[in-house]
Amino acid sequence: MRLGTRAARAAAQISLLVVLLALACFLTLRTYLGDPEQNYNDGAIHEVVDKGPVTIGKATWQLNSLDVYTRLVDTDGEEIRVGRPTGAVIVVADLSVTPLDGLRLKEGGFSCATQLRDDRGNSWAATDASKYPVPTRCSDSDHPMIRNKANKLAQIFIVPQEAVPHLSGVELTDRDNYRRYVIKP
């Protein structure tokens, strides 16, 4: 066999190997990098918004304030009991939620679960405070949500005192589109 033929064959084999290796890398990474459901399940934040409003699904959200308390009281001045361990504080997120046309409001059709996040990757789920003067759930039958109008909503979180300087905002999720938002105070 001649030297020129060997060199051409070796070049063709190396080129084919490089193409196959690139194709294998592309197909492997596409599964992880291009899969919105996998990114969502991994906890990816897709958008960070200052105060809002931000429309997620068929509801518009706005964060009015994020306040820290050592105890909560109702309209009569009586303390509202929440499970607060030693060294923890109560953080109240004052939100405005506007359900838009097409959003089902009755019979569990509208869930407004939020979480509080810090800049270190920690998150806390909202806790219930039944006698709080502002509704703490979107499905509160005593304070039903009104469509196309800003409704007050309070989300109450119990967090360690040392996490307060690191709080970054309220996390909202759009599970239909696999997106996660953080509204900063």
Q: Are residues 72 and 134 in the same domain?
A: yes
Q: Are residues 127 and 167 in the same domain?
A: yes
Q: Chain-wide mean pLDDT for the chain?
A: 85
Q: Phi-psi region for residue 32, left (φ > 0), alpha (ψ -120 to 50) or beta?
A: alpha
Check pLDDT > 60 for residue 110.
yes
Mean pLDDT of 33-58: 79
Check pLDDT > 60 for residue 109.
no
Mean pLDDT of 107-115: 74
Please, what sign has the CA dihedral across residues 44, 47, 51, 52?
negative
Structural domains of the chain, count: 2
Q: Are residues 126 and 68 in the same domain?
A: yes
Residue 111's CATH number = 2.60.40.1240
Compare 125 and 75 and report the one with higher pLDDT. Answer: 125
pLDDT at 33: 66
Check pLDDT > 60 for residue 1.
no
In a domain, 138, yes or no: yes
State pLDDT tens for residues 117-157. 999 989 999 998 878 888 888 876 777 888 899 999 999 99
Q: Are residues 52 and 18 in the same domain?
A: no
Identify the band that residue 79 occupies on the pLDDT scale cut at 50, 70 and 90.
confident
State pLDDT tens for residues 12-43. 899 999 999 988 888 777 666 667 777 777 77
Q: Which two tokens stand for residue 76?
A: 């009569």
Q: Are residues 19 and 50 in the same domain?
A: no
pLDDT at 107: 64
Contact between residue 72 and residue 27 where contact means Cβ atoms under 8 Å apart: no
**pLDDT > 90: what percent of the chain?**
35
Q: Are residues 58 and 138 in the same domain?
A: yes
Q: Are residues 61 and 150 in the same domain?
A: yes
**Domain region containing 61:** 46-184
pLDDT at 118: 92
Q: Are residues 69 and 92 in the same domain?
A: yes
Q: Are residues 59 and 19 in the same domain?
A: no
Lowest-confidence region among 33-47, 73-87, 121-135, 170-184: 33-47
